[in-house]
Amino acid sequence: ADTGSLIWGYHLLQRPGEPPLDKGLIPWLGHVLEFRRDTFKFLERMRQKHGDVFTVQLGGFYFTFLQDPFSFGAFVKESREKLDFNSFAEQLVYRVFGYKAVENDHHVLHNASNKHLKGEGLEVMTQAMMSNLQNLMLHSVGSATDQSPWKEDGLFMYSYNIVFRAGFLALFGNVPHKSEGGEEKAKEKDRTHSETLFYEFRKYDQLFPNLAYGVLPPKQKWEADRLQSYFWDAVSVQNMKAKDNISRWVWDMQQAKEEVGMDESMINKYMFVLLWASQGNTGPSSFGPSLLLSPRLPQTYAAHFQIKPKNQTFYSDHKNLRCLRIAKRLNIRQPKWALFLSRLNFILSCRPGTKNVKTDPLLAWLLPCVSMCPGRFFATNELKQFVFLMLVYFEFELKNPNEEIPEIDFRRWGFGSMQPIRDVQFRYRLRF
């Protein structure tokens, strides 16, 4: 619940000192129909009626909304006895992923994250991310010639797609070369498999807010159930054991679950939780930086994000990115790369114009990983790598020089990184 409103559930009667309770007119369902139709409008209506804090009934659950971001701090600092996010989180995880939490979950997660998503472990992860990004970004763009054709796509979908798939492959492993009879075939299989997974993930992603609130209509609920089964299988222990390069992060957690005697089918569900946690936010977050770096972005926005491709420094606080500059690690188009990179340097510096309200949506997309996220260092690297490769590989620009920055999709408030309400068309082609 990081950007808009805070929610929690499961209590039935308003007690003294509690926020106003609005059960709606329909027994059990409460406000579910209006909520489903236009969440933002509904919440706005409730806010006008009850103020910044209120509780509403939605399909048998009671959710309390906190609309004033300045009160979040005081709220989350409350003691465990008064406010326990864990039990709500456990119910939610069960509902949306089918996973039943066990006692040492957090301990194992934090151990594995400390070991493998920081320090030396992070370096290994970052290199895996780099080779998967290269596989995905360079295939099918052909080789650059004078007539190198432009390709068109939605910038949000393109960025989300690439970052999701490369992140998935870096964490959950690659198809072994041996099983496919060669490196190129194995890489191709990685591409096609991750592409299918992305499109299914995207469907789940869109159902997610209403699934979490428990307000999906029957047909969509059926689709959500189908997708759940698909993911339990796609990231199952069995499928994973047939992969190469599984990250230690995923591997350690899977081993730890096996060691405590957890059912394999339950471990599969946990793997889906990990897939969601690791991929649900990073892809959407890559849209902001790619948008900001697009030539033809109207000056009002570009002014807030200074890009000096001809100047001399690409700021990176991560030594992991140095692999980009060592020719022998760059196995694709090596000679051109080495030459190109030896000349190429950037300065990227963010200048948020706090007085300009127009920058708000931009900043929301650039939302830094929240301090409690154990994947925040890896996520930051993933985003930097993606944006850097976009700049290195492609000439790209927005199709419409008068493009308006799209609004945020408010229906997703409280569910991780924000997404735009519509996509922005862009075109790209290889630089060389």
Provide CB contacts within 8 A for 317, sequence distance 6+.
Answer: none
Binding residues: 95, 281, 373
Instruction: Select from 66, 60, 29, 62 the least CA-distant residue to 46.
Output: 66
Q: Which residues bind ligand HEM (CB under 6 A)?
A: 2, 106, 109, 117, 277-278, 281-282, 285, 367, 369-370, 372-375, 378-379, 416-417
Sole residue written with tokens 């339950």:
266
The values of phi and psi at residue 69, to 5°, are -60, -25
Q: Which helix (H) or strand (E) holds 397?
A: strand 394-398
**Which residue's Cβ lies closest to ligand HEM?**
375
CB of 4 to ligand HEM, least distance (A): 12
Distance CA 71, CA 53 (A): 10
Half-sphere exposure of 412 (CA within 13 A, CB side): 20
264-279 helix and 155-172 helix, angle to the nearest 10 degrees: 140
Binding residues for substrate: 95, 281
CB of 104 to ligand HEM, least distance (A): 13
Residue number with CB closer to ligand HEM (214 or 414): 414
Distance CA 275, CA 172 (A): 9
CB of 367 to ligand HEM, least distance (A): 6
264-279 helix and 218-234 helix, angle to the nearest 10 degrees: 100
Distance CA 397, CA 294 (A): 5
Six-digit token string for 178: 């041996």
CB of 131 to ligand HEM, least distance (A): 17
CB of 383 to ligand HEM, least distance (A): 7
Asked if 271 contacts 237 with a C-beta cutoff of 8 angstroms, the reply is yes
Residue number with CB closer to ligand HEM (173 or 374): 374
427 beta partners: 152, 397
Residue number with CB closer to ligand HEM (378 or 393): 378
Residue number with CB closer to ligand HEM (55 or 278): 278
Residue number with CB closer to ligand HEM (204 or 337): 204
Residue number with CB closer to ligand HEM (32 or 274): 274
CB of 413 to ligand HEM, least distance (A): 13
